[in-house]
Structure 1
Amino acid sequence: MVSLARDILVALGKQPAAVVSSRIGTAAMWQAATAWLAAAGIGRLVVLRAHRLPQRALARLPQLAADARVALTVVWHAPPPPSWETALPAATICLSRQVAEAVAVARRPGPGAAPVVTGERREQKDQALSHVLSQALPSLPDSEAPWFCADAQRLLQREDFCRAEVLYDYGGDAVCAFASAVAGQLDRPLAECCRQFRARDEARLAEGGPTSRATAREPGLWEVPSWERVRARWAALLSPPEPAASPQVQECDRRSLVRFLVGLVAGMSSRAHSLAVLRGAQAGLLRHGLHLRLPGRPERWSGPGFTDPPVTSPLAEQIRSRVVDPVHACAVAALLVTGLRPALLGLMRLSNLAPDAAMLSSYLPFRIDYLVPEWGRDLFAAARVHAAGHHPGDGPLLSRGIGRTGQILADTARQCGLRLRPAMLAPGLEGWHVQARCWLKESPQA
């Protein structure tokens, strides 16, 4: 009976060696097959040579089809049994003696859920961005906006700089929608604030003084021969004061800011890609009068977009093919998507996962919505189906795949061939996204 469940898992893309070596019982094997079938959105299951199956395995197929919401087609290559009701109990049977008709029925769309879009079928609207995401990037300078591009141009080769610039522009272009949303939460509309900034700049420029953005027209800026002095002057003009130091500076809603930043770096193929996008977001927010402050030393950052290894489509397939238990597979994927410590992942409930498995929410230290890349959502959907079968209601989602000290999570990562940094499995500092701050200078006198 367990052999049929293993065959179904192999047909779903699992490695045969991983299925055979999996240390789970017969019931758990069938539950895993049900969860992966439901998550993959398969509408119809066709079983050939069904006459060679033992009676227990044949009787288990209707329950599998009902639980996974798939239509079942059984091809019988032998004389029919004395009673179909005995061979397939608890099943609504529709006999077809023509092979061609049975094949045509099997090819019709079944009642299953909509298929999950995988990485191979994922369409990118921006072809340049898609090309850059598939290319490697070297280490980028630690400089913040607006001098990030200047430093990158000096330090990188031309091809690498062009790739970084595409990501930089992508982060800047994505800012407009967020800036408009943040402006609605403040007392002063963003457009009015930006007009006041421009009016102040024009007045100071007419008087020969510095502007808020230090444009090239500013008298005396390019007369300074020392690059360090130029950098210091930019920092003095662009650094936002702390809210406690100036009552005229308003801090933006942290939840909205973090949701925007986390969604911006979701699916990035390396830490360098994520860093270039965030520097572009800094520059874009600056154009709107918003000052984004990120923690220093990006090489030590942890959190979404900066996990090692990154959550790419090949990595999701690697987890999918080597791990049979859906909860264990989802636990590893959740660690790489969120960068949360294992203890916090163990607190996740079924309600933390969005219905379409596109978002995983955490409520510590405040609500943070982590975007799940399209090519990994079936891992989360399978875990929900499997966990809901064991814990009706709002039960735990990932705790069974983590362990008390994170040992189960570490073992699953090794099974997938992943080399996780020790800091990812141990208590550490808050992620970069939790430390991010953004302020709007509400008054032109601020």
Structure 2
Amino acid sequence: MLEDFIQFVRKENLFQADQKILLAVSGGIDSVVMAKLFSLAKFNFGIAHVNFSLRGEESLADEVFVKKLAKTYKVNYHTICFDTKAFSEKEKLSTQMAARILRYDWFEEIRKKESYDYIATAHHQMDSAETVLINLSRGSGIAGFHGIPVKNGHIIRPMAFATQEQIFDFVVSYKLTWREDSSNTSTQYQRNFIRHEVMPKLLELNPHFVQNVAQSSTNVALIEQWMQAELNLWKEERCKNDESGNVFVKLFDTPLAVKEMVMRQQFLLAFHFNSDTMAHILDADDKQIGKIFESASHVLNIDRQQWVLSPKDQSEFKPILVQEEYETVDLGNQLLHIDFGENENGFELPTGAHIACLDADTLTFPLEIRKYQEGDWFCPLGMNQKKLISDFLTDKKVPLNLKKNVQLVLSKGSVVWVMGYRIDNRNKVTDKTEGLCILTLENKTKP
């Protein structure tokens, strides 16, 4: 399989041997195999893992597993924790679509920030065939018929050549371990329903169904490549971007020809607009100046002879990163002050729910600040065993509507302070403590 993998990368011109690739690794069998292949091929790569906070302690265990995997391969590791449920509810999206938008937007942030050339996902032949069926069931344009593209901008799928049988054989050969996502067995998700209920029936009809879909997808992809080239020319003529990520699209005051309509539709697909919203946008005319349309990631405003697309602020679903050199962090209604000091004789530790006095040597910066999520745990001060934060807050009789807004401070993924309540016992100040890190919450003065 290693030789097939290297040949596929070369044949499809996915990347050059000296380029730097960011691997999206969930901890599941496919992404674990991809990471092993990259390591064996001696490619330059880093690993990115997303904790979607959907499966409690199981999600946390996945994160720990992938972190150890990155350490084994001695590569850079990037991770983030999203409040996926809150995002999906706010944007009225399915959980799977919400997770997709959040992860790909974050992967692109890391790619740019850390100078990776491409982002690699571990989709294989079966995934692509399932995607074709999903797209057909929803109603799809030409893009839906080619399944998952092998290369799409900065996204590459170096496992697209592989069958499930090859992946399982490879795992056995190298005695690899992986994490099994319990949600994969639930048919409440559309992809799982197709995987467990529909696909076996199609394979009974034709054992080569997956390979045939892969070949058909390749043919359709050639047509889409031509369309993409046309779209790129259209964007060069029409689109301008500013430093804030806004996109301005010039619209000519001429009757819409078929080609123009197709170009506009293809352009909107990249900004996560659904088919109904796209239809309304395409039907809107220049008399509807100021009309607003929204996708999960962008807002489109119809202006004078142009569209103006602005990215939505998704910072509320991401952790706040606190660097060691920071003195104050703005948390909205509160300020968090960060001070450092020495644990000298006679020093009296500050106390109070709004203050956390921590052993600085137990912390690794940047610290993370995010909302509490189901499955989070810590060792409350005075205890040497872990306790679910949900149970801790229940014991503290925190009302349900306040519990969901409780914020945590984390160091390397471990909770060090349930803000406003208690620090973790592992980060407390002891007689051996030399350096102190003091975090102080201050309510903003109302004007």
> Could you state the TM-score of these two structures normalised by the residue count of structure 2?
0.26
> Could you state the TM-score of these two structures normalised by the residue count of structure 1?
0.26
The structure where helix makes up a greater share of residues is 1
